[in-house]
Amino acid sequence: MLETAILAAFLAFCRIGACFLFLPGLGSARVPAQVRLFVAVGASLALLAHLWEAIVPHVSRQPQTMLVLIGSELLIGALIGLVARFYVLALQFIGAAMAMMMGYGMAGGGVAVEENEPQPEVATLISFSALLLLFVFDFHHAIIQALVASYRLAPVDALFNPQSALVDLSDTLSAAFFVMIRLGSPFVAYAILVNLAIGFINKLTPQIPIYFISLPFVIAGGLMLLYFGIGTFLRLFADGFFPTTIGG
């Protein structure tokens, strides 16, 4: 009985731990690996009581069978985590594009919230605010509910389906980027109009370096647009998370 419980707990940890590895926020480079490990172990042990009947009947003492189940559980958990992470990666993409359109493209880059890579400060602020808003709205609870429901939709003995996983990932990626393009459309229109006006002025007065003169005004206009639109931007981002990822 003890051996069966240990194997069942390890199978639960494979799916839940793989999901937490890619989950936005918990899977961030800012969170130490020990913290992520302990959170995954704690969540696995807490959910094992609810998932006992879904996992224990499929536990086997055959090494070959257990290796196949472990690999399948790791891939299923990674799929659930990647679906949520793609939505945040799309936000980082549109945040960097918005910073470039506002005139911060050549500014000194900060550090991204999720990754150890340079990112404009405006994009970092947008990413951090959106991620904080998701935690305020308890998105991690919804992910845990999705993990519990995944044992009904994708049982342990059903194994991982690569074709279905690729379809889910491609649909999520497409829907996430469509949402982000719509959210960043005011800044796209602002960049087109401003650069068009600057180009016309530069043609009229080629002796004056219009680009360097106009850069502070471009940044000021972009900051004003961000000030008046950031509330709606974050609200629409949070509203689109569940339908695009686990709710879709």
Tens of pLDDT along 88-98? 889 988 988 88
| Residue 75 confidence (pLDDT) | 92
pTM as predicted? 0.83
Tell me: pLDDT of 45 over 60.
yes
Q: Which domain range does residue 140 map to? A: 2-105+112-244
Residue type, 174: S
Q: Domain count of the chain?
A: 1
Average pLDDT over residues 113-118: 75
The answer to whether 21 touches 81, Cβ cutoff 8 Å, is: yes
Please choose, from the candidates 112, 86, 129, 138, the residue with its C-alpha nearest in 3D space to the C-alpha of residue 234: 129
Q: 136: which 2 tokens? A: 């305020």
Segment 43-55 shows an average pLDDT of: 87
pLDDT of residue 108: 53
The owner of tokens 């999520």 is 172
The predicted-structure confidence for 174-217, as pLDDT tens digits, reads as follows: 999 899 999 999 999 998 998 888 888 888 777 777 777 888 88
Q: Residue 34 — very low, low, confident or very high, per pLDDT cuts 50/70/90?
A: confident
